[in-house]
Chains A and B, each alone.
Chain A
């Protein structure tokens, strides 16, 4: 297996886990099972927490700053990406105090258009790569795809894992792929999409999370947004537990990105509560938590207006994507 030369040394237990295929499998299957009822109940329980007034306003602004504004359509054009970039720079044109979003997320061939608009603003340009969304291609193609996006100026790469290989137990192959894509990323941050909707069980989500963390992913991301179910609260809980435990064992902080299906401010606030309670307040930053979303931003902006204006706002008052 390819070793990561740049990553800081892992603690002995984890270093041992990535020594070869057999030990990786032993490690992943040795992870404690997820209590399905428990995690779903806890997620539902935390979801009922009431966040109001100043705390809600803070949550809205924090959520806006965590949004990866996404357009992943076959019909994308450079013009659409440019208008999305304009929205990323100034989400609510009438209110300059609205924070900027964290990044714009596009297909590799749109990266150049996004970089042209966002260069120097501090807003990241994320690109999906590695035969997104299915991941069904040769490693060579996946690496080329990644290099193409990075060369165009992407600062973040969202890769998909080979779910087929993962589900048939070929963990070493998935691990190697992530390591090599990470290498191809260079300085760009790597987000590893687990596509939890295809992993079937929470145990698999936990294994895939650890696999991605061991292989050097900077973020673990729930979904491509092309498969239903996409991000769910319990799945995000399991992934947040993984990064929390990773931090406890290695001292490194890795991020989590739920993507797909998060459309309302209420949903977003539930996720922020989960981040605070499961991983800890240290994760409430765009460096460690992101929302992959396209329609969420408009709802956040409408709710922000509602909070500040004292009356309900409507979609006529936010930009159409």
Chain B
């Protein structure tokens, strides 16, 4: 591929090999460990270097996510919808870049890659619309046998550790992040180990849209290295195992149980091109029920 690019140029310019960084708390730090690893395209050609995050990067990301939780969960649902819509706008603006990256990462033709990027934009808009409606659908006024007005409202779970899908590098990624933040959670995302570049570019999109720093934190690196630390972390409230390697799933669930986390189990071969439902939002919501005396 690099050959094709250099052919397109008139001079003998050496292309810049990029080394990407992590996205933590709205900033782009290098990994605390100083490591990086080469990322290749579907055919094994070198694309760029990505930061190889460590457990301490995960720790810092959780701190950033916790710090951002108060503001993000306290923002009005309407406002969160506007922000998500803005992310879709910025993503749309970088359509070409994403198409190239998805094509390289997943080894699909340009047309298919384009369709995946468009679906990702639509997915964001879909979740943006749900932010101020989900409470009406998942909440309830409960009929109770007593002089009380009893009602249940969904509230965000807190800091959610998300293991992003390993195959679907952009659409899958957006499909797991959007429901988490749409309902007011903050996320620490471990990007696909072998296809991290769309995630890195998505973090650039998040940084330049109106998402407050720390609401989404993106770690690249070895999932098997970072995930156990997130699963056992006492300040993480929920765990999305979508992209967890099969061999690791049982262990991750077990350590998540140590601090009573919500766990969204991995489904066998999830098809992200399908129209989503509420299940991913519901998985990271807590129901608060209030009993209010009436008729006194």
Are A and B bound to each other?
yes
By a beta-carbon cutoff of 8 Å, the part of chain A in contact with chain B is 305, 310-317
Give the docked Cα–Cα distance between A316 and B62 (Å).
Answer: 14
Residue in B closest to A315 when the chains form the complex, CB atoms? B235
Contact mask B228-243 → A, CB, 8 Å, 1/0? Answer: 0100111110000000
Of listed B66, B229, B233, B234, residue having the most chain A CB within 10 A: B234
Measured between alpha carbons, how far is A312 from B66 in the docked complex, in Å? 14
Q: How large is the interface on B (under 10, 10 to 19, 20 to 34, 35 or more residues)?
A: 10 to 19
Closest 8 CB pairs of A and B: A314-B235, A311-B232, A314-B234, A312-B233, A313-B234, A312-B59, A317-B234, A312-B234
Q: Which residues of B contact A312 (CB under 8 A)?
A: 59, 62, 229, 232-235
Give chain B nearest CB distance to A267 CB in angstroms.
15
CA distance A311 to B66 in the complex (A): 17
**Nearest CB of B to A300, in Å:** 16
- State A317–B66 Cα separation when bound (angstroms): 14
Residues of A within 8 A of B209 (CB): none
Main secondary structure of the interface of A (DSSP, over half): loop
Which B residues fall within an 8 A CB radius of A? Answer: 59, 62, 66, 229, 232-236, 255, 258
Report the bound CA distance from A310 to B231 in whole Å: 12
The residue of chain B having its C-beta at the shortest distance from the C-beta of A314 within the complex is B235
Contact indicator A311/B235 (Cβ below 8 Å): no
In the complex, number of A-B residue pairs with CB atoms less than 8 Å apart: 27
A317 to B62, CA, bound (A): 15
B233 → chain A closest CB, angstroms: 4
Q: Which residues of A contact B236 (CB under 8 A)?
A: 314
Q: B residues within 8 A CB of A316?
A: 234-235
- By beta carbon, the residue of chain A nearest B230 is A312
> A312-B62, A314-B233 provided; 8 other pairs, C-beta below 8 A?
A312-B59, A312-B234, A313-B235, A314-B66, A314-B235, A316-B234, A316-B235, A317-B234
Rounded to whole angstroms, the CA-CA distance of A305 and B259 in the bound complex is 13
Report the bound CA distance from A314 to B66 in whole Å. Answer: 10
CA distance A305 to B258 in the complex (A): 14
- Nearest to A312 among chain B residues (CB) is B233
A315 vs B234: C-alpha distance in the bound complex, in angstroms?
8
Complex alpha-carbon distance, A314 and B259, angstroms = 10
Task: Please indicate which of the listed interface residues A312, A315, A317 has the most CB atoms of chain B within 10 Å of its own CB.
Answer: A312
Q: How far is the CA of A310 from the CA of B258 in the complex (A)?
A: 12
Which residues of the other chain, A, contact B258 by a CB distance below 8 angstroms?
311
Q: Which residue of A lies closest to B234 (CB)?
A: A314
Determine the chain A residues whose CB is within 8 A of the CB of B229 once the complex forms: 311-312
What's the least CB distance linking A86 to chain B, in Å? 23
Give the docked Cα–Cα distance between A306 and B117 (Å): 41
Rounded to whole angstroms, the CA-CA distance of A313 and B234 in the bound complex is: 5
Q: Complex formed: what's the CA distance from A311 to B59 in Å?
A: 10
Q: How far is the CB of B226 from chain A (nearest CB, A)?
A: 12
Looking at B229, B235, B236, which has the most chain A CB atoms within 10 Å of its CB? B235
Name the residue of chain A whose CB is nearest to the CB of B58. Answer: A312
Could you tell me the distance between the alpha carbons of A313 and B236 in the complex, rounded to whole angstroms? Answer: 9
Minimum CB–CB distance for A315 against chain B, Å: 7
Q: Provide the bound-state CA to CA distance between A262 and B255, in Å.
A: 32
List residues of chain B with CB within 8 A of the CB of A317.
234
A165 to B112, CA, bound (A): 77
**Interfacial chain A residues near B59, Cβ < 8 Å:** 312
